[in-house]
Every structure is written in structure tokens, then in C-alpha cells.
Amino acid sequence: MHKASNSLQKKLQELSKIIYRAATILPKCKSCGTCIKYCPLELREFNKEGKAITISTSISCGGCTVCYHRCPEQAIKLVRLSKNTI
Ligand code: SF4
Ligand code: SF4
């Protein structure tokens, strides 16, 4: 196989293992509920302290960025994970 396509394949393989997950910067969350309303996978819920968090279910977040962009407080960050770690 051609050398360039080998390295491209390797890169694509690495990228396919990367996944993102939305995580709340808890002190910044003002409990407005916007992320809960707009998450297309319904993965956002209030915790006992009334802060919105990403819940763990059989469906994984993946980091679509909807909540990240909708949060008026910039209280959500996208954390990079490796598929091997989830
Ligand atoms: S990144 Fe997307 S799927 Fe994940 S919690 Fe936010 S809105 Fe939901
Ligand atoms: S949109 Fe932001 S401030 Fe509002 S509940 Fe979600 S994380 Fe908290």
C-alpha cells in the first residue's frame, strides 16, 4: 500500500476512537434548564443540587455540542474521551 494512504488510515483509525462528552462546570450552572430542554438524546438532568449534568445511559452523549452552544452561562465543556475508556 502507498505510504501516504497508510498514514492517513492510521490517522482515521485514531480519530474513530475519539469521542466527546458534555460535562458541566458546576459552579457556573444557573439551573435554567435550557440544556435539558434541547439535548436531542435527553441526556441532561438536574442532579440533587439542582445543577444540570449529563447522565450515563446505554446511549452515549458523543458531544453533539447542542447543549454547549445553548447554555447561556458557558457552563458546559466538551471533554475528549477515548472510546476505550467508556
Ligand atoms: S453534547 Fe449533545 S447529546 Fe451530549 S448532552 Fe449535550 S446536547 Fe446532549
Ligand atoms: S443551560 Fe447551562 S446554566 Fe442552564 S441548566 Fe444547562 S448547564 Fe446549567
Radius of gyration of the chain (CA): 16
For residue 4, is it within any domain? no
Give the domain CATH number at 67. 3.30.70.20
**Ligand 1 mean position, distance from CA 27 (Å):** 19
Structural domain containing residue 65? 19-85
The arithmetic mean of pLDDT across residues 53-79, rounded, is: 95
Rounded to two decimals, the pTM is 0.83
Distance CA 18, CA 20 (A): 7
Whether residue 52 has its Cβ less than 6 Å from ligand 1: no
Q: What is the pLDDT of residues 5-17, one digit of tens each?
A: 889 999 898 888 8
The arithmetic mean of pLDDT across residues 48-69, rounded, is: 95
**Ligand 1 mean position, distance from CA 28 (Å):** 17
Task: Say which ligand is closest to the CA of 44.
Answer: 1
Distance CA 60, CA 21 (A): 8
**Ligand 1 mean position, distance from CA 51 (Å):** 15
Domain count for the chain, please give it: 1
- Cα atoms found within 13 Å of the Cα of residue 48, Cβ hemisphere only: 0
